[in-house]
Structure 1
Amino acid sequence: MTTNYLTADAIKTVGVIGAGTMGAGIAQVAAQAGHPVILVDMNAEALERGIAGIRKALSRLAEKGKITAAAADEIGNRINPAQELSALADTQLVVEAIVEKLEVKQSVFAELETICSDTTILASNTSSISITSIASALKHPERFAGLHFFNPAPVMKLVEVIHGLATAGPVIDTLLELTKGWGKVAVAAKSSPGFIVNRVARPFYAEGMRLVEEGVAEPALVDALMRQSGGFRMGPFELTDLIGQDVNYAVTCSVFASYYNDPRFKPSLVQKELVDAGWLGRKSGRGFYRYEEGKQQAEEPEWDEIRFGGFFQIREVVNSPAIGALVTRIQDSGVVIPQLSEGETGEIRFANGARLMLTNGQTTLERSQAMNDPFLIQMDLAQDYTSCTALAISARPELPEEVWTEVYALLDFLGIKSIRVKDMPGLVVMRTVAMLINEACDALHLGIASAQGIDDAMQAGLNYPQGLFAWADQLRPAYVAEVLENTARFYADDRYRLSPALRVQSRLGQSFYAAQGEL
């Protein structure tokens, strides 16, 4: 067993195997950080394309003024092409970025062990294969780890540093320090299917597709709500079109199979239909949307119009942490609230009898019957009610039209576009965010990564508007648990079962980030 582990400072020359998009990108990152890099690919044409692509990317950086032309040349000259693994003999770190086949990777690393020093750190950029499985073919699995960059590697900040069962702690420490020095957000994670991001993100796509299957909303509306209410940069349908429906579907199927068909990761038949039809998104000209010359052809959803002149009169407001920002927005707009109190469940009552509350995961029909209030209207979650520009709302099917009007009018007055959606559990944003939080909690419970690490990964890797544990604390873990328990009760589906970590925090009444630091 290796006991003499390299520190980050000791890593001088970096080897990269595979000159495709990911390999070339990783080589560029290392070269920009000042390392001599040996880029290996047995295919001469692929190697030539990879080097040319790196130089082109560096030239674009120089044109934009981010680096000088001289620096671009210097960085490019640090990358030396080679077609044989033997060229990696004097490297201190080798990162593999080749085909996603276990046997091929094992063969490459077994050969590297005969070429490189006993102290050289070996790493794979795999996004789907177990680090432990790859390492099982090595004589020194303790110096092997995952180093998962995201595409494009020079732009995307996140690197997941994955430790397999045999990976030595000092190796992970070195890779974390090294990649942070490269300007990356480096997060340690345990080897498990999907690691952090590809696992925790599954509900973002799955719930959106299920909402479409159920007729709650069309793809364009779900995307608009996730952006304008949820604060996400892209909705699930435009994002999967960008990724490629075939790629996203394959990852979902892989995670589903790897977790022994856990219903939380169940693939969508809606997405399978697109893949079967060859409607793969931007790259094929059609996915959930049509594309012309690379531009998405999607119309803005038709938001509900204000009726009866837009009159509204608020009678009473019960403020709560979950809707506090909306109450602040109402007050800042100059609206007088005759009666204001505090409570755990916030609500806004109108003169016409309408009662507006944040969804708790029940259908509005169920909740209105339980509360004996036929005029109840539920609203969706907004990441920030002070700035959101759209909001979904729902009520029981037979709610009289005149009861809707004051709610429409208030939201219009505040500059929030509203739309009535089919009455289903959790509406759109709340249901998706609750499931994302639950998946993050399960990753925490299983020791895949820390709460801070998961939050950092989701923000740096997918540009989430805030960390999922921070979001859970904002809503209160008990409220998120209530949403999921009500949703699970409605569907009688194990897909919505609570993670033990969320259940514990809910019962303790504690946040995930305590005053003394992360729990």
Structure 2
Amino acid sequence: MKDIRRIGVLGAGTMGRGIIQLFAQSGYEVYSYDAVDGAVAKAVDFVSGLIERAVDKGRLKREEADVTLARIIPCSDVAEFAGCDLVVEAIIENIDAKRAVFEMLEGVVASDCILASNTSSLTVAEIASACKHPERVAGLHFFNPVPLMKVAEIIAAVRSAPEHIAALKTLIESCGHRGVVAEDQPGFLVNHAGRGLYTEGLRIVEDQCASPEDVDRLMREAAGFKMGPFELMDLTGLDVSGKVMSSIYEQFQQEPRFRPSPLVAPRIAAGLFGRKTGEGWYRYDNGQRVDSPTAETPALAGTIAVWVDPDADQCAALGELVSAGGARLVEQPADAELILIQPWGWDVSIYCAERDLDARRCVAVDPLPGLDKHRTLMISPVTEARCRDAAHALLGQNAAVTVINDSPGFVCQRILATIVNIACNIVQRGIASVADLEDAVRLGLGYPAGPLTLGEQVGGERILAILEAMELQTGDMRYRPALWLSRRVRLGQTLLTAEAPRSGRG
């Protein structure tokens, strides 16, 4: 395996300067070149400023800072990369430009120098096809800001030499980052695994089940995510997110799981990109998001008779809550003015029809988050306003409540099941190992846990049931369960169970 000591970074923009800083701080000599006049000097000044700030705040000793800065070597000509063990390209996302750069680098560096692209969306094999020795080419995808985002994707193209992939992994982990290895597939690992949050969030809004603000609030306060899909799209820019969604869908041969929403194109056309344009899914005033006022909890109009479905996961706890709120529990649904149910994967309408319950008096409570978190109430198209308001009054006295329209799987069930399903398909296809997938999503996307762990927390059998119910109700192939998921559930195994090794090949 190649020992990497000298690293060239071609491209001194936002990503390039972050890569320069990471490697210099980690003890490597870093040669920096950019074809744009003054770009390298600006990058060095930027990195120097960050390091000086660390000294001023006492996080770094003066001597360490001086040594780090001395490792950064500005280059006026790409020929100065001749002695590098690795060159990382970090230029614009344009296949022709990258192919030209790699073809040029082969004429500069030694025969054993590794060439890596920081591409986030282009096929590494296509970049490598310009080279006489494509086995030396790999992807090395960092996330912004590079020194703080503690993960990097190492992309093994079809002709990448295994020893070079191993050398890159050793390098990345010597920098204190987690190096995750992924096959050269659309979206690689992080962008691929992150599709479910966006696409299913958009589908929920498209179906008029909930507003973007409701979806974000529930994913934060009920599911435990740092951000919901719409505030994330506003942060990254819908112009960027929209292109990625369309690109991955097309590159995966229009796989239904990645189908983009028709809600996106009109908003891009209108220039509603998010924070950078002052308006996206939200409006921004001087950079601060303007949220809608929170709906007030209605008052309970007198005593009401309530029947709680005995099949509800939290039947006893719901009974205690509504009793404490002033309701009277009854033993038969025919005697109730309000019916409370807790379906998994089903909407109110079908659940009531299957059980001969009166949908006009029925309100569903999402069992997934637990009753100690933000509560989701779901109504059918015919649920009476008095029943909706009574349920809100009873369950909103000691917790926040969001009311949504009929939706198979509420909001959290739908999005989590989609995230888990896509993750299961990633490991089923061998795009990444279970461990690399889990860490990549947790570190790269900031999810509360890896996607397969999230599935285990809900329960693999439950995730499978949600997907099967959603597929049956909608007829949409986007919800078909991955084989990884269905096999492990049928065998009573966890979603983290690896494939048994084959005894031979062929």
TM-score by length of 2: 0.88
The answer on whether the counterparts of 1:381 and 1:429 sit within 8 Å (CA) in structure 2 is no
- Measured in 1, the distance between the counterparts of 2:476 and 2:201 equals 17
Q: Secondary structure at the match of 1:398?
A: coil
1:395 is the counterpart of 2:379: yes
- Measured in 2, the distance between the counterparts of 1:464 and 1:306 equals 36
Q: Give the corresponding residue for 1:366.
A: 350
1:82 Cα deviation after fit:
1.3
Q: Give the corresponding residue for 1:476.
A: 459
Q: Give the corresponding residue for 1:341.
A: none
1:111 Cα deviation after fit:
2.1
Task: Report Cα offsets for 1:402-461 as digits up to 9, x if no partner.
Answer: 655775456435x32112210111111110111111111111111101122111111100
The answer on whether the counterparts of 1:303 and 1:417 sit within 8 Å (CA) in structure 2 is no
The answer on whether the counterparts of 2:362 and 2:387 sit within 8 Å (CA) in structure 1 is no
- Measured in 2, the distance between the counterparts of 1:282 and 1:317 equals 46
- Measured in 2, the distance between the counterparts of 1:364 and 1:234 equals 27
1:213 Cα deviation after fit:
2.0
The answer on whether the counterparts of 1:106 and 1:134 sit within 8 Å (CA) in structure 2 is yes
Q: Secondary structure at the match of 1:513?
A: coil
1:486 is the counterpart of 2:472: no
Match of 1:255 among 233, 248, 260: 248
1:125 Cα deviation after fit:
0.6
1:508 is the counterpart of 2:494: no
The answer on whether the counterparts of 2:194 and 2:419 sit within 8 Å (CA) in structure 1 is yes
Q: Give the corresponding residue for 1:139.
A: 132
1:476 Cα deviation after fit:
2.1
**Residue pairs, 1:90-109, within 5 angstroms:** 90-109=83-102
Residue range with higher mean Cα deviation, 495-504 or 92-101: 495-504
**Residue pairs, 1:190-209, within 5 angstroms:** 190-209=183-202
**Residue pairs, 1:26-37, within 5 angstroms:** 26-37=19-30
Change (3 A) 1:392 1:476: same
Task: Report Cα offsets for 1:109-158 as digits up to 9, x if no partner.
Answer: 22222222222221111001111211222222222211110111111112
Q: Give the corresponding residue for 1:461.
A: 444
Task: Report Cα offsets for 1:7-31 as digits up to 9, x if no partner.
Answer: xxx2111111100000110111001
Q: Give the corresponding residue for 1:385.
A: 370
Q: Give the corresponding residue for 1:338.
A: none
- Measured in 1, the distance between the counterparts of 2:92 and 2:44 equals 19
Residue range with higher mean Cα deviation, 490-499 or 428-437: 490-499
Residue range with higher mean Cα deviation, 177-186 or 489-498: 489-498
- Measured in 2, the distance between the counterparts of 1:306 and 1:142 equals 69
**Residue pairs, 1:326-337, within 5 angstroms:** none
- Measured in 1, the distance between the counterparts of 2:85 and 2:269 equals 45
Q: Give the corresponding residue for 2:419.
A: 436
- Measured in 2, the distance between the counterparts of 1:145 and 1:399 equals 56
Q: Give the corresponding residue for 1:422.
A: 405
- Measured in 2, the distance between the counterparts of 1:200 and 1:139 equals 33
Q: 2:370 is matched by which residue type in structure 1?
A: Y
Change (3 A) 1:312 1:95: farther
1:74 Cα deviation after fit:
3.1
Change (3 A) 1:431 1:315: closer
**Residue pairs, 1:146-185, within 5 angstroms:** 146-185=139-178
- Measured in 2, the distance between the counterparts of 1:386 and 1:231 equals 14
Q: Secondary structure at the match of 1:280?
A: coil
Match of 2:122 among 129, 133, 148: 129
Change (3 A) 1:283 1:516: closer
Q: Give the corresponding residue for 1:344.
A: none
Residue range with higher mean Cα deviation, 110-119 or 152-161: 110-119
Aligned length: 492
Match of 2:182 among 185, 189, 193: 189
1:234 is the counterpart of 2:234: no
The answer on whether the counterparts of 1:352 and 1:406 sit within 8 Å (CA) in structure 2 is no
Q: Secondary structure at the match of 2:396?
A: helix
Q: 1:494 is matched by which residue type in structure 2?
A: M
Task: Report Cα offsets for 1:254-308 as digits up to 9, x if no partner.
Answer: 1111112222222222221221111111111111112122211122442543524
Question: CA RMSD of the aligned region, Å?
Answer: 3.1
Change (3 A) 1:461 1:260: same
Change (3 A) 1:359 1:454: farther
The answer on whether the counterparts of 1:144 and 1:167 sit within 8 Å (CA) in structure 2 is yes
Q: 2:379 is matched by which residue type in structure 1?
A: A
- Measured in 1, the distance between the counterparts of 2:136 and 2:116 equals 8
The answer on whether the counterparts of 2:30 and 2:73 sit within 8 Å (CA) in structure 1 is yes
Change (3 A) 1:402 1:220: closer
The answer on whether the counterparts of 2:306 and 2:337 sit within 8 Å (CA) in structure 1 is no
- Measured in 1, the distance between the counterparts of 2:501 and 2:392 equals 41
Task: Report Cα offsets for 1:290-329 as digits up to 9, x if no partner.
Answer: 2122211122442543524799989797686xx69x969x
1:104 Cα deviation after fit:
1.8
Q: 1:372 is matched by which residue type in structure 2?
A: D
- Measured in 2, the distance between the counterparts of 1:518 and 1:448 equals 16
Task: Report Cα offsets for 1:33-72 as digits up to 9, x if no partner.
Answer: 0111001101122222222221222233334433234433
Q: Give the corresponding residue for 2:287.
A: 294
Residue range with higher mean Cα deviation, 170-179 or 249-258: 170-179
- Measured in 2, the distance between the counterparts of 1:16 and 1:133 equals 20
1:516 Cα deviation after fit:
12
Q: Secondary structure at the match of 1:44?
A: coil
Gaps of 5+ in 2: 326-332
- Measured in 2, the distance between the counterparts of 1:249 and 1:68 equals 44
Q: Secondary structure at the match of 1:269?
A: coil
Q: Give the corresponding residue for 2:79.
A: 86
- Measured in 2, the distance between the counterparts of 1:517 and 1:304 equals 53
Task: Report Cα offsets for 1:375-418 as digits up to 9, x if no partner.
Answer: 65433365x53752x121213333456655775456435x3211
Q: Give the corresponding residue for 2:330.
A: none
1:105 Cα deviation after fit:
1.4
The answer on whether the counterparts of 2:306 and 2:338 sit within 8 Å (CA) in structure 1 is no
- Measured in 1, the distance between the counterparts of 2:435 and 2:305 equals 43
The answer on whether the counterparts of 1:35 and 1:78 sit within 8 Å (CA) in structure 2 is yes
**Residue pairs, 1:270-289, within 5 angstroms:** 270-289=263-282
Residue range with higher mean Cα deviation, 509-518 or 151-160: 509-518
- Measured in 2, the distance between the counterparts of 1:385 and 1:53 equals 47
Change (3 A) 1:386 1:169: farther
- Measured in 2, the distance between the counterparts of 1:312 and 1:152 equals 56
- Measured in 2, the distance between the counterparts of 1:173 and 1:447 equals 17
1:193 Cα deviation after fit:
0.3
- Measured in 2, the distance between the counterparts of 1:310 and 1:15 equals 74
Residue range with higher mean Cα deviation, 226-235 or 201-210: 201-210
Q: Percent identity?
A: 34
